[in-house]
Amino acid sequence: MKCKKEKVMKHISFLLNDASKPGVVFDLEGTLLYVNNTFHEEFGVEGTGNIKQFIVESSTDIWDEIISCVHESEQKIVDMNIRIDQDRIQAVKVRLMYFDDVHQIIALFDVLHHKDNLAERTYIHAFRNSDSFMAIVDLEGTIHDVNEMHTEFFNVPKDYFVGKDASVIIKLFQEDTDSLIAYKKDIDIYGYAEETKRYERSVEDVRYYHISTFFDSETKTYLIRMDDRTEKMILEERLARSGSLSTVGELAASIAHEIRNPMTTLKGFVQLLKLSANDDALKYLAVIDDEIARMESILSEMLILSKPGLDKKTVFSLELLVADMVQVMYPKALLENITIEQKETDAQSTLINANANKIKQVLLNIFKNAFEAMSSGGTLTTSIELKEAEQLVLRISDTGKGMNANQINRVFMPFFTCKPEGTGLGLPFVLKTIEEHGGSVLVESEVDKGTTFIVTFPLVIAHISGLVLDEKKLLSS
């Protein structure tokens, strides 16, 4: 008896090791006792239930006859052809091996048209292991399946999608009715559509997903695929800004001499005219003086953008620098009835390595924009916090009129301004300066509620060779 059981175990081991063929163990009533991984992948059947559940009805009589034959006769190994009740696989060849001592049968399946199934398994493997998010949707708009990237892309469970209407995918994005209608129209006409949409995983984690949808006329299903294009979009935005700033700089450098020469001449003649002008003429000459001064101011801002290098950097406390600039703005805040709140930071050190004069100019530009955006009684708030990867994050928030999405997208472009007297060069200078210091600038805004500038700086380690740096001395020096 022991030898017989060992023989059974030997055959079962063979079944387990032969991964190229689907295999199953069941008793004389057809109850499944075990299925190997290949069987599960081919037929989608777990190791429970009855073998007859996935055999077509026309094959069950032949099946029962063969099972009876191997049980009652001396022939314990039988080959037979049956049909399987599956969409993907129908005709199969089966080898049955009956073991009388345990009354169990081992069946090994040779799936016909193996190449087709291999291609399908390859497709399924690609679907499951793709680094893109993928979803399969039927004609009624029901999501049949999604791959494992649902967590990476949207941080939601699989149950959020499977069995639900495809509209749950649309709800994850900010709805754009016109864009959605055009997208659906392209699918109906061409069987294909694509677009890139913005997705906010969190306030500080904004991503851009390229969405493409294919319609398969043979299976009557839609395949939705999303690729993460965030890094590419950010790089393209930076290149666009850099190109704009470079163009402005080149223009400024090339025409500065040509503009300043006639401006100097104009200023000289204006001074001469003032000596012999009457009161009415003096008024007009004063206007000319003001306009010349404004032209010089615009030209100076353009020339700042054209300078590629940084002045000398020093290590200083960002917190103390912000406090100093708040004091500079305090008299103006009193006159305009604006409250300035500087929140205390939890960071043990706020040391950065930068050009203090340029960072002061950055803060003045942002503060000035905030003041101009607020009416009497507004509030300006500053805060500094420590971020991962040794970065300091400075937030400057106002309670002003805010900006819409279009204004936010264009706010750093040269010459874009929402102010009648603005030049549109202040915020491009802010972006250029911060990026030259290895940092970044983000803008969050909501119409009629206010705007927040999020400025990130690389943090300087406060302890060098066991000595603690004095932040106040560093700033004053």
Average pLDDT over residues 213-221: 84
Name the average pLDDT for the chain: 77
In terms of average pLDDT, the best of 42-56, 222-236, 317-331, 412-426 is 317-331
The pLDDT, as a whole number, for residue 394 is 93
Are 107 and 24 contacting, i.e. CB atoms less than 8 angstroms apart?
Answer: yes
Q: Which residue has the tokens 């101011």?
A: 297
Number of H helices, E strands in the chain: 14, 19
CATH number of 130-228: 3.30.450.20
The pLDDT, as a whole number, for residue 454 is 93
The pLDDT, as a whole number, for residue 302 is 60
Average pLDDT over residues 95-101: 77
The pLDDT, as a whole number, for residue 464 is 43
How many other CB atoms are found less than 10 A from the CB of residue 150?
19
Give the pLDDT band (50/70/90) at residue 38. Answer: confident
**One-character DSSP codes across 415-475:** T--SSTT--S-HHHHHHHHHHHTT-EEEEEEETTTEEEEEEEEEPPPSEETTEE--HHHHH
Question: Measuring CA to CA, which residue among 67, 68, 71 is closest to residue 100?
Answer: 71
pLDDT of 416 over the 50 cut: yes
Average pLDDT over residues 317-327: 90
* Residue 36 burial (C-beta neighbours within 10 Å; 0-12, 13-18, 19+): buried
Domains 2-112 and 314-476 belong to one CATH topology? no
With H, G, I as helix, E, B as strand and everything else as coil, classify residue 266.
Answer: helix
- The CA-CA-CA angle for residues 397, 399, 403, to 5°, reads 85
How many angstroms separate the first and last alpha carbons of the chain? 94
DSSP assignment letter at 84: B
The pLDDT, as a whole number, for residue 268 is 81
Span of 55-69, 102-116, 159-173, 428-442 with lowest mean pLDDT: 102-116
Structure tokens given for 82: 């049956």
Q: 373 or 40, which is more confident?
A: 373
Q: 458 or 376, which is more confident?
A: 458
The pLDDT, as a whole number, for residue 90 is 60
Question: Measuring CA to CA, which residue among 417, 393, 395, 397 is closest to residue 407?
Answer: 417
Q: Which CATH number fits domain 2-112: 3.40.50.300, 3.30.450.20, 3.30.360.10, 3.40.190.10?
A: 3.30.450.20
Q: Does domain 234-306 have CATH number 1.10.287?
A: yes
The proportion of the chain whose per-residue pLDDT surpasses 70, expressed as a percent, equals 71
Q: Give the C-alpha separation, 207 to 230, whole Å.
A: 5
Edge-to-edge, what's the strand order for the sheet holding 450-458?
339-342, 379-387, 391-398, 450-458, 440-446
The pLDDT, as a whole number, for residue 303 is 62
Q: For the stretch 389-423, what's the b/e string if a residue is b when 16 or more beta carbons lie within 10 angstroms of its beta carbon? A: eebbbbbbbbbbbbbeeebbeebbbbebbeeeeee
Question: Measuring CA to CA, which residue among 440, 366, 439, 423 is closest to residue 248?
Answer: 423
Q: Give the C-alpha separation, 117 to 119, whole Å.
A: 5
pLDDT of 380 over the 50 cut: yes
Average pLDDT over residues 424-450: 85
Question: Measuring CA to CA, which residue among 189, 176, 252 is closest to residue 415?
Answer: 252
Give the pLDDT band (50/70/90) at residue 278. Answer: confident
Percent of residues in the chain assigned helix, strand, coil, to nearest 5: 45, 25, 25
Question: What does the pLDDT look like over 329-351, one tens digit per residue?
Answer: 888 888 889 999 999 887 778 89
Name the residue ranges covered by the structural domains of the chain: 2-112, 130-228, 234-306, 314-476
Average pLDDT over residues 301-306: 59
The pLDDT, as a whole number, for residue 207 is 87
* Residue 246 burial (C-beta neighbours within 10 Å; 0-12, 13-18, 19+): middle
- Fold of domain 314-476: Heat Shock Protein 90 (3.30.565)
Considering Cα of 7, then 12, then 17, then 18, what sign does the dihedral take?
A: positive
The pLDDT, as a whole number, for residue 462 is 45
Average pLDDT over residues 46-62: 73
pLDDT of 452 over the 80 cut: yes
How many other CB atoms are found less than 10 A from the CB of residue 290?
10
Question: What does the pLDDT look like over 223-275, one tens digit per residue?
Answer: 999 999 888 777 666 656 555 555 666 666 666 656 766 777 788 888 888 88
The pLDDT, as a whole number, for residue 134 is 92
Q: What residues contact residue 70 under an 8 Å CB cut-off, 6+ apart?
A: 76, 77, 78, 96, 98, 105
Give the pLDDT band (50/70/90) at residue 78. Answer: confident
Question: What does the pLDDT look like over 8-20, one tens digit per residue?
Answer: 556 555 555 555 6
Average pLDDT over residues 191-207: 82
